[in-house]
Chains A and B, each alone.
Chain A
Amino acid sequence: MSEHDHAHTPAPVERRAEAVEGALVDGGHVRPQDVETFARLYEDEIGPMNGARVVAKAWVDPDYRERLLADGTAAIAELGFGGPEGGYLIAVENTEAVHNVVVCTLCSCYPWPLLGLPPDWYKSAPYRSRVVREPRAVLAEMGCEVPDDVEIRVWDSTAETRYLVVPQRPAGTDGLDEQALAGLVTRDSMIGVARL
Chain B
Amino acid sequence: MDGIHDLGGREGFGPVVVEADEPVFHADWERRVWGMAMAAFAGGVCNGGQFRHSIERMDPVHYLSSRYYEHWLTGLATWTVERGLVDHAELERRAGGAFPLSRPVLAPVVADPGQDVESPRFAVGDRVRVRATSHRGHTRAPQFVRGRGGVVVRVDRPFPMPDVEAHTADGRTRREPVYCVRFDAGELWGDSAEPGAVVCVDLWESYLEEAG
Contacts and interface: CB of A to CB of B under 8 A. Distances in A.
A123 interface: yes
Contacts of B195: 148
Interface residues of B, number: 80
Contact of B17 (A18, A30, A126, A155): A126
Contacts of A137: 194
B144 A132 contact: yes
Interface string B196-209: 11111111100000
Nearest to B93: A19
B142 A121 contact: no
Interface string A118-161: 01110111111110111111100110000011111111111111
Interface string B1-29: 00001111111011111110010111111
Nearest to B51: A107
Nearest to A20: B77
B170 interface: no
A24 B40 CA distance: 8
B142 A88 contact: no
Contacts of B52: 106-107
Chain B interface, DSSP helix/strand/loop, else mixed: mixed
Contact of A105 (B6, B32, B90): B6
B104 interface: no
Nearest to A127: B16
Given A24-B80, A121-B18, A11 B97 contact: yes
A34 B35 contact: yes
Given A90-B154, A128-B8, A159 B159 contact: yes
Given A23-B86, A125-B7, A160-B178, A43 B95 contact: no
A16 B80 CA distance: 14
B82 interface: no
Interface in A1-44: 7-24, 27, 29-31, 34-39, 42-43
A113 interface: no
B86 A39 contact: no
B61 interface: no
B39 A31 contact: yes
Of A9, A20, A124, A126, most B-chain CB atoms within 10 Å: A20
A88 B175 CA distance: 15
Given A20-B73, A24-B86, A126-B16, A136 B194 contact: yes
A47 B40 CA distance: 22
B105 interface: no
A132 B9 contact: yes
Nearest to A100: B200
Contacts of B156: 88, 159-161
Contacts of A154: 197-200
Contacts of B99: 10-11, 16, 19
Interface in B82-97: 85-87, 90-92, 94-97
A19 B95 contact: yes
A107 B75 CA distance: 12
Nearest to B52: A107
Nearest to B138: A106
Of A36, A137, A156, most B-chain CB atoms within 10 Å: A156
27 contacts: A11-B96, A13-B66, A15-B95, A16-B77, A17-B32, A21-B33, A23-B90, A23-B94, A24-B85, A29-B43, A30-B39, A38-B34, A43-B24, A47-B24, A106-B6, A117-B34, A121-B17, A121-B18, A126-B15, A132-B188, A133-B11, A136-B196, A142-B18, A151-B196, A152-B198, A158-B140, A160-B178
